Amino acid sequence: MDAIKRSGFLTLFILLTSLLHHPHHARAADKQKVRPAGVAGSFYPADPKELGKTVDDYLARATVAEIKGSIVALVAPHAGYPFSGPVAAYSYALLRGRKFARVVVIAPSHYVAFPFNSIYDGDAYSTPLGQVPVDKDFAAKLAGMSPLIKFSGQGHGEVEGHWEHALEDELPFLQRVLGDFKLVPVVMGDQDYQASRALGVSLAKLVEKENRASGGGYDTLIVASSDLSHYHTYDDAVTMDHKTLKAVEEWDYFNLSINSEQRLWEACGGGGIVAAMIAAERLGARQATLLKYANSGDVTPDKTRVVGYGAVALTKAAGPGGAKETEFKLNSQEKQQLLKIAKESVESAVRQGKLYQCSPAGLEALARDRGAFVTLKEKGELRGCIGYITPLKPLCMTVRDVAAYAALQDPRFQPVGVAELNQLEYEISVLSPLHRVTDWKQIQVGRDGLLVRKGDRQGVLLPQVATEEHWDRNTFLDQTCVKAGLPPRCWQDEDADVFQFTAVVFGQHRPSESMIPDEPSDRRPGEMPGRRAPGSPPQ
């Protein structure tokens, strides 16, 4: 009997212990970290019914573009819904009838900077339409692929009364068109090329691995959340924004990254667009389609300080094909005008130390932003060669700038003197957009120039160089690495990128000597060596 009593007391003790401790542990285990709807009621409606109707109305008014092939990634804006919602709807309307179990949203950090890509370290993001669970397994794998990708709350929370809106803004659209899906929320604390590349390459590798494991197609969608230019006049915004969008359409994400970093072009989520393009390219996509462009001046009467918005789809073509590309050509009148600008620029720089004032002279090709090099020779010998790889300015101004730099700032030569002006020969190379080499056989010696980028080192050689030096493809690649100060075989390294471009080359005489161009220093474009050109605007 005593044994039975002791057994009963023991059972009661265990039961009480269980009641006291187990519920606490269960609650602790079940408690989730959920990122609240921080901008509901400001950027978009807080009421679920109103929000659902608002999004549905935008989607109903958006024209659905005819897209052939697989949608790999989208670009969509993230401002207050009355301003950006009608544009964002053009991207999300494409998702009707399509299924994606996982969506990676890449957004910029507006209020705090940090040197990595931050994947939310919680369990879900919340909007008035419900919670979106984080795909923690995929996110953990992604965070383990690069030191520039980390689990963190950085960029996802509230900073001095401001909630980061860029990622949250995309979710109600995704909830309405996809229903249930898992989210991989990424906020970029740094949007330079290295951070964008690390995210894009890692994302592509992981998605490809997941696809192989599942035997499925593109179950993962990538969304780059980005507005375009900020607070310019309506006309200036349209001009600047179409430069950014043109680079996306031409699949020139390298120049998009460089010009965005230098604030020559503006996209607050430009790094996310670059990362999405890098990932999409490695997943087989090379087609970018502009779906819609507008700015806040299309919604309000204020045309003095507008914000630009663009919707873009990045797709893998159903059949063979790649990025849309129209061959860039110059007619004889345009070539002669550029040669005249180069000569007048050198004369003005050498004789007067002034920046030559030029214009496109009514020639449309000269008004387009293009990279270009100017090569100077004297009695057949190289006298200077400098250029802009990236399309920093309209072509006429680019040629004007680099002609003066070639005469006065090529570090391999003394500055050109007045007595030499009548002996100079001019050659101009106008560059195409840059495309990453995905197959070494794509490189055609004599047609293509090369740019090698690894870390913070970069080397460039024009198409003429390989022909004049009688190099084969591998030697050309090796020598471009050497030009960057890297080992000859660096082009084979996984962390190196090789870009190819073509050039329209013309001049007074065909040069017979090797041309190995140097780029200008970090001095602002528009300045003469050692002095500021009169009236040149800050860049």
Could you read off the pLDDT of 300-345 as tens digits, one per residue?
A: 999 999 999 999 999 998 655 545 556 778 999 999 999 999 999 9
Q: Which residues contact 76 (CB under 8 A, 6 or more apart)?
A: 87, 88, 91, 92, 170, 173, 223, 224, 225, 226, 311
Answer yes or no: are the C-beta atoms of 204 and 279 closer than 8 Å: yes
- d(CA 525, CA 398) in angstroms, rounded, equals 9
Tens of pLDDT, residues 402-455: 999 999 999 999 999 999 999 999 999 999 999 999 999 999 999 999 999 999
SS3 sequence of 267-283: CCCHHHHHHHHHHHHHC
Q: What is the pLDDT of residue 18?
A: 43
Q: Which 8-state DSSP code applies to residue 321?
A: -
Per-residue pLDDT, averaged over 222-243, amounts to 97
Shared-domain flag, residues 382 and 285? no
Q: Could you tell me if residue 520 is inside a domain?
A: no
Q: Could you tell me if residue 253 is inside a domain?
A: yes
What proportion of the chain, given as a percentage, has pLDDT over 70? 86
Q: What is the pLDDT of residue 509?
A: 61
Helix (H, G, I), strand (E, B) or coil at 223: strand
Range of the domain at 178: 51-316
- Predicted TM-score of the model (pTM): 0.87
Is the pLDDT confidence value at 24 over 70? no
Q: Could you tell me if residue 6 is inside a domain?
A: no
Cross-sheet strand order for the sheet of 124-127: 34-35, 124-127, 130-133
Is the pLDDT confidence value at 461 over 70? yes
Q: Could you tell me if residue 534 is inside a domain?
A: no
Count of alpha carbons within 13 angstroms of residue 168, beta-carbon side: 32
Domain final residue, candidates 285, 316, 347:
316
Shared-domain flag, residues 281 and 399? no
Neighbours of 325 (CB within 10 A): 15
Alpha helices (H) in 215-323, listed in sequence order = 234-249, 253-261, 270-282
By C-alpha distance, which of 419, 344, 333, 326 is closest to 378? Answer: 419
- How many distinct structural domains can be found in the chain? 2
Shared-domain flag, residues 59 and 205? yes
Per-residue pLDDT, averaged over 453-468, amounts to 95
**Domain containing 462 — which CATH number?**
3.30.1490.150
Q: Could you tell me if residue 324 is inside a domain?
A: no
Per-residue pLDDT, averaged over 42-48, amounts to 98
Shared-domain flag, residues 249 and 165? yes
Helix then strand then coil, in percent of the chain rounded to 5, is 40, 25, 35
Q: Which 8-state DSSP code applies to residue 134?
A: B
98 phi, psi to nearest 5 deg? -110, 150
Tens of pLDDT, residues 466-513: 999 999 999 999 999 999 999 999 999 999 999 999 999 999 764 443
* Encoded tokens for 287: 């087609």
The residue that leads in pLDDT, 267 or 324, is 267
- d(CA 279, CA 321) in angstroms, rounded, equals 18
Shared-domain flag, residues 376 and 237? no
Per-residue pLDDT, averaged over 43-72, amounts to 95
pLDDT confidence of 233, banded at 50, 70, 90? very high
Q: What is the pLDDT of residue 215?
A: 73
Shared-domain flag, residues 108 and 250? yes
What proportion of the chain, given as a percentage, has pLDDT over 90? 83
Count of alpha carbons within 13 angstroms of residue 117, beta-carbon side: 34
Q: Which residues contact 527 (CB under 8 A, 6 or more apart)?
A: 533, 536
Shared-domain flag, residues 347 and 305? no
Q: Could you tell me if residue 24 is inside a domain?
A: no
* Encoded tokens for 125: 């993001």
Shared-domain flag, residues 242 and 297? yes
Q: Could you tell me if residue 26 is inside a domain?
A: no
Shared-domain flag, residues 310 and 409? no
- d(CA 324, CA 184) in angstroms, rounded, equals 30
Q: What is the pLDDT of residue 194?
A: 97
Is the pLDDT confidence value at 21 over 70? no
Shared-domain flag, residues 357 and 388? yes
Shared-domain flag, residues 297 and 398? no
Shared-domain flag, residues 288 and 340? no
**Domain containing 121 — which CATH number?**
3.40.830.10
Answer yes or no: are the C-beta atoms of 515 and 505 closer than 8 Å: no
Helix (H, G, I), strand (E, B) or coil at 393: coil
Q: Could you tell me if residue 19 is inside a domain?
A: no
Q: What is the pLDDT of residue 30?
A: 62
